[in-house]
Amino acid sequence: MILHQFYLNCLAHASYLIADEQTKIAAVVDPQRDVDRYVAFADERGLRIAHVVLTHLHADFVAGHLELRDRVGATIYLGAAAKAEYAFTPLCDGDRVEFGRVRLQAIETPGHTPESVSIAVYDLDRSATEPHAVLTGDTLFVGDVGRPDLRAALGWSATELGGLLYESLRTKLLTLPDASLVYPAHGAGSLCGKALGKETVSTIGEQRRDNYALQPMTKAAFVDLVTADQPDAPPYFTYDAVLNTKERPTLDEALSRELNPMTLELVLALQRTGGQVLDTRDPAEFAAAHLAGSLNIGLGGQYATWAGTISSSSPTPAASRNRRCASAASASITSSDISRTCGHSRHGRTCWRRSIA
């Protein structure tokens, strides 16, 4: 069995490819929207990506399930409680997806979201009864658990979801063997929890012992604990959660629309009518000269989160060093919100100075 973790630092997001080495069939769990890395990994090893699973309808990024469906023909799987515009296979407790000597078994774990599932991964050459690993999505992190307060705008209270999370953790995940590896969907820096550890893998036993939210307590005490002191959620979180239920344009379609070279005059015209200029250059370059009123979010660090957080819903021209940087900027921001970028400008410092003068 192949179990490979991919980590996207700007979103502190982990995704996974699981494959059977004999049949060469693979599944991807919680993919980012840019699916090139999964396709390249599979191609290098002669694998066919036949399945794509979302552990839940993510709020902090636009997932790549539609991209994998359209590009390689993968079947989409969601938790049975999910509703979506596109066709998907619902996963209930105990449902299995098997290929070769690999078994993926669904565990319904509502709490972070109503439709959340975890995926127990069995390497049947090792054991048919004990999972080698569990992909916990945003239900269980290393050192933390998923926050239950992100669905208020969609009609779910934090108290209600917090109670479901308590049961999911104690009656589902903590019944797994201590040796089972824990692979979450996020690490330190994510806004999907408040105390995520820097490690990206653990075990059930380690989390049972060390995770503050898994210690003995009443349900009421647990709900109070996990709803307190959560970081403010960016306004795009609800938008993305809904967008992940939609039949929307794929990343390639969005980039073909958004990677439009723009003249300085057009950028200024859009700015005058409410457009917001997002400057993705390094801070030193931005400090040397930039358009008045533009926002500087460099491509390093948590670019996608910050861009989605502080950008307005107005058309957003992006100032970049070159087309490659413009492509990276647009691909990153479309991971959090696809509707905002309208083009890019790469005019040099002289043009910025002239426009300011």
Q: Distance from CA of residue 21 to its chain's centroid?
A: 27
What per-residue string of b and e applies to 10-48 under the rule 16 or more CB within 10 Å gives b? bbbbbbbbbbbbeebbbbbbbbbbbbebbbebbeeeebb
Q: What pLDDT is recorded for position 357?
A: 32
Query: Which residue(s) pair with 8 in the sheet?
Result: 13
CA angle 233, 238, 242 (to 5 degrees): 155
**Residue 20 identity (one-letter amino acid):** D
Q: Please count the other Cβ atoms lying within 10 Å of the Cβ belonging to residue 72.
A: 18
pTM of the model: 0.86
Q: What pLDDT is recorded for position 340?
A: 53
> Residues with Cβ < 8 Å from 350, sequence gap 6 or more?
none
Q: What pLDDT is recorded for position 275?
A: 79
Query: Which residue(s) pair with 53 in the sheet?
Result: 29, 77
Q: What is the DSSP letter of 140?
A: B
Q: How many helices (H) and strands (E) does the chain have?
A: 12, 16
Distance CA 95, CA 92 (A): 6
Distance CA 244, CA 231 (A): 22
H or E segment to which residue 121 belongs: strand 117-123
Written as tens digits, the pLDDT of the chain (357 aa) is: 999 999 998 889 999 999 999 999 999 999 999 999 999 999 999 999 999 999 999 998 899 999 999 999 999 999 999 999 999 999 999 999 999 999 999 999 999 999 999 999 999 999 999 999 999 999 999 999 999 998 887 888 999 999 999 999 999 999 999 999 999 999 988 888 888 999 999 999 999 999 999 999 999 999 999 999 888 888 788 888 999 999 999 988 888 877 777 788 888 888 888 877 888 888 888 888 888 888 888 877 677 777 776 665 555 555 555 544 444 545 555 555 544 565 566 554 444 444 443
> DSSP states of 59-70 as a string?
SSS--SHHHHHH
Q: Are strands 13-19 and 2-8 parallel, antiparallel or unpaired?
A: antiparallel
Distance CA 174, CA 177 (A): 8
* Adjacency order of strands within the sheet including 2-8: 2-8, 13-19, 25-29, 48-53, 75-79, 89-91
Distance CA 190, CA 258 (A): 27
Tokens linked to 107: 């565990």
All structural domains of the chain, each given as residue ranges with its CATH number in brackets, are 2-240 (3.60.15.10), 249-356 (3.40.250.10)
End-to-end Cα distance, the chain? 62
Q: Are strands 316-319 and 341-345 parallel, antiparallel or unpaired?
A: parallel
Q: Are strands 181-184 and 133-137 parallel, antiparallel or unpaired?
A: parallel
Distance CA 169, CA 183 (A): 15
Q: What is the DSSP letter of 182?
A: E
Phi, psi of 193, rounded to the nearest 5 degrees? -160, -175
CA nearest to 186, candidates 239, 146, 238 = 146
CB 192, CB 60: distance < 8 Å:
yes
- Cα atoms found within 13 Å of the Cα of residue 187, Cβ hemisphere only: 18
**Residue 265 identity (one-letter amino acid):** E
**Residue 206 identity (one-letter amino acid):** E
